[in-house]
Amino acid sequence: MEQVLKRAMPGTGDEVSILGFGCMRFKRNLAATDMEKAERQVRRAIDAGVNYFDTAYMYPGNEKAVGAILAKTDEQGRKLRDRVFVATKLPFMSVKTREDMDRMLDTSLERLGMAHIDYYLIHNLGDYAAWERGKKLGLPAFLEKAKADGKIGHIGFSWHGNLQNFRKVIDEYDWEFCQIQYNYLDENFQAGTEGLKYAAAKGVGIVVMEPLRGGMIVGKMPPAAKRVIDEYRDASGQKRSAADWGLRWVWNHPEVSCVLSGMNEMGQVEENARAAADALPGSLAEADLAMIDKVKQAFHDAIKVNCTGCTYCMPCPFGVDIPSCFAAYNSYSMFGGFFAKTMYGFSLRPTGDKPSGMASACKKCGACEKKCPQHIPIIKSLEDTAKAMEGPVSKAIVAIAGKVMGR
């Protein structure tokens, strides 16, 4: 079995797999059958050499599920936990006091069933003001004490703000690693390429999230982008999938130590592990990069809302299913046709006690925009979605669905 490549993580000295397992997309309420499926995927990933597993306090049920799986043993009787690094995160947006930090860390340890967390992140720092608030609450002292007590190993943060503030936060503390969104559609978004290089020059390890932009780079490609990839062969004559090219583009950057993929199907584990077995930095040819530039242009010509479907904006107090609205709008923009509007009207209609999830149900309260890590103008984008998606066709679908449902 080919093994996933490893790279040294600057700042920690650990040899981490270039492919990390992003556990956020495990189902939120894991039934027994789902746990069995997740365990098979985790075991396969570990056997392929994946040794970095990422979860978070705020992912419902996730830490407990990850801990339960990693408590199992392999065929040699070794505990799976002993073969991997585990990363989880402090939900800083919910922290009000220093005591909250201690309580949340202890809760994460309890859920995971572990005495030690290898990589501990401040979750979703979005601006410099948030870091300043943390300093006033005693965040640096909390981190240092938790490390001294052996509860955490390496200290980092995940970032969802602009480049200027990212550089300031990097400069303010002796961070060992950070986690940023990075993919070929987001070279100049948030920290971007400039932030990637800035952190690396400071000796900070880089973990990348959203390398496939929430699946958009794979499953929701504009036809023009798909054609470019389908018709392309690399120098060896090999054809690669959209996911393969998306991951390889990130791995091509030597500053990146680990790339998280939210794998929830065995096929994804297998494909990503194969790609990670030979994805060396600087290995993409000029022709490969030129092909990806064509794909990027096709995306930029078609996407209406730069939503990754992370669901941080949810729940909407008025029932709007914001990620689904934008996914349908982008799908309609990229692919056109009757199907996108049909699914929009059918899946987001009000049913029973469930209010309408459509964009037009937005009351412009702004709660979502405060939580969006992409800083999307959600209210305006929902207005645009409603105009595009809620014409006579969608209204007719809602009316028909209502009759079928007996409403």
Are 359 and 223 in the same domain?
Answer: no
Q: Which residues contact 145 (CB under 8 A, 6 or more apart)?
A: none
* Number of domains present in the structure of the chain: 2
Query: How distant, in Å, are the alpha carbons of 210, 358, 373 from that of 313?
Result: 17, 15, 8
**Residue 140 phi/psi, 5° resolution?**
-60, -45
Nearest-CA neighbor of 360 among 385, 343, 341?
385
pLDDT by residue for the chain (407 residues), tens only, comes to: 689 999 999 989 999 999 999 998 776 556 666 889 999 999 999 999 999 999 999 998 899 999 999 999 999 999 999 999 999 999 998 999 999 999 999 999 999 999 999 999 999 888 898 999 999 999 999 999 999 999 999 999 999 888 899 999 999 999 999 999 999 988 888 899 999 999 999 999 999 999 998 787 887 788 899 999 999 999 999 999 999 999 999 999 999 999 999 998 999 999 999 999 999 999 999 999 999 999 999 988 888 898 888 888 999 999 999 988 998 888 788 777 676 787 788 778 787 777 889 999 999 999 999 999 888 999 999 999 999 998 776 667 666 655 554 44
Is 30 a domain residue? yes
Is 306 among the domain residues?
no
DSSP string, 82-104: GGSEEEEEE-GGG--SHHHHHHH
**Is 1 contained in some domain?**
no
Query: Does 151 lie in the same domain as 193?
Result: yes
pLDDT computed for residue 406 by the predictor = 46
Q: What is the pLDDT of residue 343?
A: 75
Q: Is the domain of 136 the same as that of 238?
A: yes
Instruction: Return the SS3 of 169.
Output: helix
Q: Kindly state whether residue 310 falls inside one of the protein's structural domains.
A: no
Q: Residue 108: inside a domain, yes or no?
A: yes
Q: Are residues 78 and 176 in the same domain?
A: yes
Question: Domain boundary residue among 300, 330, 351?
Answer: 300
Q: How far is CA 166 from CA 130, 178, 190, 206, 345, in A?
A: 11, 10, 8, 13, 40
Same domain, 130 and 276: yes
Domain assignment of residue 72, given as a range: 6-300
How many other C-beta atoms lie within 10 A of the C-beta of residue 23? 26
Q: Please report which residue ranges of 306-337 form alpha helices under DSSP H.
A: 322-335
The pLDDT value recorded for residue 407 is: 46
User: Is residue 337 domain-shared with residue 270, that is, in the same domain?
Assistant: no
Q: Is 327 found in the same domain as 284?
A: no
Q: Do 245 and 343 fall into the same domain?
A: no
Residues 294 and 378 in one domain: no
Same domain, 265 and 217: yes
Residue 368 and residue 225 in one domain: no
- Copy the structure tokens of residue 17: 């797999």
Q: Supply the CATH number for residue 283's domain.
A: 3.20.20.100
For residues 29 and 154, membership in a common domain is answered with: yes
